[in-house]
Amino acid sequence: MRNLAMTLLALMVLITAWVPVADARDKSAVLKASTVVGMRVQSTEGKKLGDIKDLVIDPADGSIGYAVLDFGGFLGIGDKYFAVPWEALQWTADNKAIVLDVSKKDLKQAPGFDKNNWPDLGSEEQALIIYEYYGMPLPGETPAPPKARK
């Protein structure tokens, strides 16, 4: 009887050792930064806009302020970074890409910066420019009600 119990215990340990770590990770309700960085960002039409290069986190409260999008250029030359408000991003149904409701043409006009010369993304002035461009309320602001159509 004792040998049977030991054999079953050993078998259970072997089975759990074979369960891929990714399975446990996929069942989690949390989002890891390592998953987001490198993800494809696409327009609502499914056109590729770029990839997430970094996340900007507010050290005061730990919230994510921006996802930094790499857009344009060729093979890393001439590309530009764009700080996109975290709230402006949506996930595709299969969670394999992030959707941003802008076209490539509009993104070219967005406030961006050189990847080697980041602006002060913690400044209120910079936040106002970025959040206004993407039509998002500043963090802590209540969104304005939609205007009545005439």
pLDDT band per the 50, 70, 90 thresholds, residue 19: very low
- Does residue 145 register a pLDDT over 90? no
For 76, the 3-state DSSP assignment is coil
Where are the strands (E) in 22-131, listed by range?
Answer: 40-42, 48-57, 64-71, 80-85, 89-91, 97-100
Q: Which residue has the higher pLDDT, 133 or 76?
A: 133
In this prediction, residue 34 has a pLDDT band, given cuts at 50, 70 and 90, of confident
The predicted structure's pLDDT at residue 39: 92
Cα dihedral sign, 143-144-148-150: negative
42 pLDDT more than 70: yes
The structural domains of the chain, ordered by start, are 33-133 (2.30.30.240)
- Please compute the mean of the pLDDT values over residues 23-49 and round it to a whole number: 78
- More reliable by pLDDT, 41 or 93: 41
* pLDDT above 90 as % of the chain: 46
| Separation between Cα atoms, residue 137 and residue 150, nearest integer Å | 24
pLDDT at 3 over 70: no
Max Cα–Cα distance, the chain, nearest Å: 83
Among 54, 72, 26, residue whose Cα is nearest residue 121: 54
Distance of CA 3 to the CA centre of its chain: 51
Q: What's the whole-number mean pLDDT along residues 53-71? A: 92
Q: How confident is the model at residue 20 (pLDDT cuts 50, 70, 90)?
A: very low
Weakest-pLDDT range from 25-39, 47-61, 123-137: 25-39
pLDDT at 4 over 50: no
**Tokens for 132?**
């206004």
Q: How far apart (Å, rounded) are the C-alpha atoms in residues 83 and 146?
A: 25
Distance CA 102, CA 49 (A): 9
